[in-house]
Amino acid sequence: MKREDFMQWFRVIFREIVGLFVDDGSLAIAIIVWLGIVWLLLPRLGVFSRWNGLILFAGLGCILVENTLRCARRSGYTESGK
């Protein structure tokens, strides 16, 4: 096997493996950014620790809803199902 063929094969395998875990790059980036914000800001804001989980969950839920709506618009899905 030539080096170029091996590198091409390796790139395809790498993309497939990454695709198993990250289907939508913008969703993954938004989640990572939200986790960073929560990790950095919540301790500094003095929010009671029992609220941290709720704030994290609410943010992730909003990100998921926004991503779902964006994907639905992109695919042409409407509320009437057409």
| Domain ranges within the chain, ordered by starting residue | 23-82
Phi, psi of 23 (to 5 degrees): -85, -40
Q: Are 30 and 65 in contact (CB under 8 A)?
A: no
Report pLDDT digits (tens) over 34-63. 999 999 998 888 877 888 899 999 999 999
pLDDT at 81 over 60: no
Predicted confidence band of residue 19 (pLDDT cuts 50, 70, 90): confident
Distance (Å, rounded) from C-alpha 11 to C-alpha 5?
Answer: 10
Predicted confidence band of residue 78 (pLDDT cuts 50, 70, 90): low
HSE-up of residue 56 (Cα within 13 Å, Cβ side): 15
